[in-house]
Structure 1
Amino acid sequence: MLYTLFYSPGAASMAVHWMLIELEVPFETVLVDIDQSQQRNPDYLRLNPSGRVPTLVIDGAPYGESVALMLLLAERHPGSGLVPEPNSPKRAEWLQLTLYIANTLMPAMRDWLYAAKDGNPDGAAAVKALAQKRISLVWDDFEARLEDGRPYLMGNTFGVVDMLAIMLMRWSRNMPCNAIEWPRLRAYIDQVCARSSFGDLCDREGLPAWPA
């Protein structure tokens, strides 16, 4: 198996990069400098016509969409413990939570971050206000989920949903709905970010320590 990850530090590629580290599989990385608009480079667009990161080249074939890539990696590496196995009692809950993050949280994050760029700048403030409300409701849901003292969102086992959630919580660090303002989320973030794999990820991507 040969993997090449095209990534930008801290972007949507971050969770895929983290998963590759957790899987302890050999992989290569190629930096896509978004500040220099390298995602619009014709060579990159041939791999990912949407001009976004991540792109994961698997045995020579390119694929995109971070959540889809993580599900694909889980299928290619069964027994990793990062997702419940198909016959596990936790499988249905995991599918529900993964799609909740993908369909509710990730679009709201993009709306907040790119309201003026993706739509009419005149309406950006209203779009951001609605996105902030939607993000805050997800943090409320996660806060309630952690009320029973579980260490991870799925219970006692770290996995894909945690990597996705932490990536998106990090995105909120400059938002009015900063995830660290929720007390149980802050404890959860501190615990998950203490994992050696997260430290390795930040070192590889040149990211500052978070949370401060």
Structure 2
Amino acid sequence: MQLYYAPGTISVAVAIALEEAGLDYDAVKLNFASGEQTKPAYAQINPKGRVPALAVEGGILTETGALLDFVAAKAPQAGLVPEDPVMAARMREVMYYLASTMHVNHAHKLRGPRWASKESSFRDMAAKVPETMTASCDYIEHNGLRGPLVLGDRISLADCYLYVVCGWLEGDGVDASAFPKILAFREAMAARASVQAVKAAGML
């Protein structure tokens, strides 16, 4: 497998999951600063011009949630998706919130052209990011963590996803000290071998 990623982006969640699952993969780094993700070569891999993308035997897979589910299915012994359907739904509840709301809040800081055309609109969207990301942190703090991890004391796909998102907080103007559960979650995840491996590889 080949994982196309950019450092610090949500694509690293897939790398963490691959490490947790014990699956072999090659990491292919894209240079976002030079716009490599927009070039024709990468368009052949992911025409959306985004990361992650995962090259597997059956072709190219995209979208973080889909890739995380693929990893869990490839390595069921890792237990990254609970067998209990209610707990599995709770895990995905957090994942879908991250995808549909919190990541979008973050994207308004630098990706204004996705939603508007005027420079003044970009500035207004960026100015709103500390408020919306703080509101998302409040939701995660009180509703998204059932213990040190999303599902309590067991690792799941949602933790891989949430850890990367929580690495953006300070850069988005969030006072992370106001969210002790999130801080404890970041500490717990940082101690895991999977996270240490991606950090050692320069992915985070």
TM-score, normalised to structure 1, is 0.86
Displacement of 1:116 after TM fit? Answer: 5.8
| Residue aligned with 1:63, SS | strand
d(CA) in 2 for partners of 1:128 and 1:99? 23
Aligned residue runs from structure 1 range 43-58, under 5 A: 43-58=41-56
Which AA in structure 2 matches 1:165? Answer: L
d(CA) in 2 for partners of 1:79 and 1:99? 24
Q: From the superposition, tell whether residues 174 and 181 of structure 1 become closer, same or farther in structure 2 (CA, over 3 Å).
A: farther
Q: From the superposition, tell whether residues 37 and 126 of structure 1 become closer, same or farther in structure 2 (CA, over 3 Å).
A: closer
In the other structure, the counterpart of 1:166 is 163
In the other structure, the counterpart of 1:192 is 189
Higher relative contact order (CA 8 A, sep 6+): 2
Q: How many residues align?
A: 203
| Residue aligned with 1:5, SS | strand
Report if the CA contact (8 A) 1:12-1:54 is conserved.
Answer: yes
Displacement of 1:130 after TM fit? Answer: 3.7
From 26, 43, 47, give the equivalent of 1:28.
26
d(CA) in 2 for partners of 1:178 and 1:9? 23
Displacement of 1:90 after TM fit? Answer: 1.0
In the other structure, the counterpart of 1:203 is 200
Report if the CA contact (8 A) 2:8-2:203 is conserved.
Answer: no
The alignment-based identity, stated in percent, is 25
Q: From the superposition, tell whether residues 76 and 206 of structure 1 become closer, same or farther in structure 2 (CA, over 3 Å).
A: closer
Greater shift, 159-168 or 180-189, is seen at: 180-189
d(CA) in 2 for partners of 1:26 and 1:206? 16
d(CA) in 1 for partners of 2:166 and 2:177? 8
Report if the CA contact (8 A) 1:135-1:177 is conserved.
Answer: yes
RMSD (Å) for aligned C-alpha atoms: 2.2
Unpaired runs of 5+ in structure 2? Answer: none
Unpaired runs of 5+ in structure 1? Answer: 208-212
Q: From the superposition, tell whether residues 51 and 64 of structure 1 become closer, same or farther in structure 2 (CA, over 3 Å).
A: same
d(CA) in 2 for partners of 1:178 and 1:205? 25
Aligned residue runs from structure 1 range 133-152, under 5 A: 133-145=131-143, 150-152=147-149
Which AA in structure 2 matches 1:90? Answer: M
Which AA in structure 2 matches 1:144? Answer: H
Report if the CA contact (8 A) 2:94-2:144 is conserved.
Answer: no
d(CA) in 2 for partners of 1:155 and 1:206? 26
In the other structure, the counterpart of 1:210 is none
Displacement of 1:144 after TM fit? Answer: 1.8
Which AA in structure 2 matches 1:74? Answer: A
Aligned residue runs from structure 1 range 44-83, under 5 A: 44-59=42-57, 61-83=59-81
d(CA) in 2 for partners of 1:45 and 1:25? 26
